[in-house]
Amino acid sequence: MSRGDFCFIVALLSLAVISFLPWTRNMQWAGMSMLGWMMALLMVLSPSIALLRVIKERNQSTPPREEVER
């Protein structure tokens, strides 16, 4: 596993752990508990960052066009 993938998984799981600490249930923002906001954040961030990483990896593994033509 690459270092980047490992760091991403650790960050994702850390955010998930923080989201489920007891304080997120009681503290509210805009009428909703922080648990809800943290979960919404996870739902947006996790696939977006993972997608960017996959695209970046694909671009790095694809040789530039000039190189292919040569």
Partner 1 sequence: MIEKILVATYLVICILIGILVSRRVLNSRDEYWVAGRRIGPWINAMAIMAALASGGSILGVMGYAYKAGIPATLALFAGAVVGFPLASILVARPLRRFGKFTITDFLSWRYPNPIVRVGVPLLIVFCFTMYIVAQMKAAGITAEALLGIPYNTSLTLATLVFVLYVSVGGMLAITWTDVIQGTLMVAVVLGTAMLLMSRNGNPVEIFSTGIQAAPMLGAAGERSLLTDLGAFVIWAAAIPIIPHVVMRVYTARNANDARLSLNLAMIIYSIVILTAVMIVVPVGKILFPALDDSDQVFLKIMESQFNPVIRGLAVAAVLAAVMSTTDALLLACSSAIAHDLVANVWGKNLSNQTISRLNVIVVWIVGLIAMTLAYSPPELITAYYTDAIGALSAGLFVPVIAGLWWRRANSVGGIAAFVVGVAVYAALVFMPDLPKRSGILIALPASAVAMWLGGIVGKADSSTMVEAVGQLHRSE
Cα 34 from Cα 39, distance rounded (Å): 8
Q: Measured from the CB atom, is 30 or 68 closer to partner 1?
A: 30
Residues in contact with partner 1 by the rule CB under 8 A: 1, 5, 8-9, 12, 16, 20, 22, 24-26, 28, 30-33, 35-36, 39-40, 42-44, 46-51, 54-55, 57-58, 61
Residue type, 24: T
Contacts of 53 (CB under 8 A, 6+ apart): 4, 5, 8
Shortest spacing between CB 68 and partner 1, in angstroms? 17
